[in-house]
Amino acid sequence: MAEHSGKDVLSSDVEIKGTIKFQKELLIDGKVEGEINSDGALTVGENADIRAEIKTKSIIIYGKVQGNVTVSERCELKSKCTLQGDLKAARLIIEEGATFVGKSEVSSGMSVKAATKPEVVRHEESAKPAFARAS
């Protein structure tokens, strides 16, 4: 291929300890320990073993992830993957056979403002029964 496809790859023989930041797309198939931060799309390959806090736009997990995952859009857990940690996402797809141990928080259109709990407003003066008989 003459042109670069735009997806960067960390192959299965790569081991990284520290913080990874990327812009567009990244495929990790090796070992990572630390943090992963991005506004892009992360793919965790089948051979990957990640022990990190992950914050990204979207993620597809085929391998092992241990740590909390926060994505602003879409999270896909593929059939042979393992995720141990809490997950926050706008959309979540879990295939049959995937292993997920942790809490999940899924809210459509998640943003910093929308992630807060909605306010409950109660009006005490309207305490009339809903099905009152008209006399």
Determine the Cα–Cα distance for residues 122 and 102; give it in Å rounded to an integer: 34
Residue 91 is predicted with a pLDDT of 94
Residue 81 is predicted with a pLDDT of 97
* Range name among 2-6, 17-21, 61-65 with the lowest pLDDT average: 2-6
Average pLDDT of the chain to the nearest whole number: 83
Residue 83 is predicted with a pLDDT of 97
pTM of the model: 0.75
Pick from 76, 83, 77, 81: nearest CA to 101: 83
Output DSSP code: residue 34. E
Residue 6 is predicted with a pLDDT of 63
**Residues 7-32, mean pLDDT to the nearest whole number:** 91
Q: Which residue has the tokens 């241990």?
A: 66
CA atoms within 13 Å, Cβ hemisphere of 25: 9
Residue 8 is predicted with a pLDDT of 84
pLDDT digits (tens, 9 = 90+) for 23-77: 999 999 999 999 999 999 999 999 999 999 999 999 999 999 999 999 999 999 9
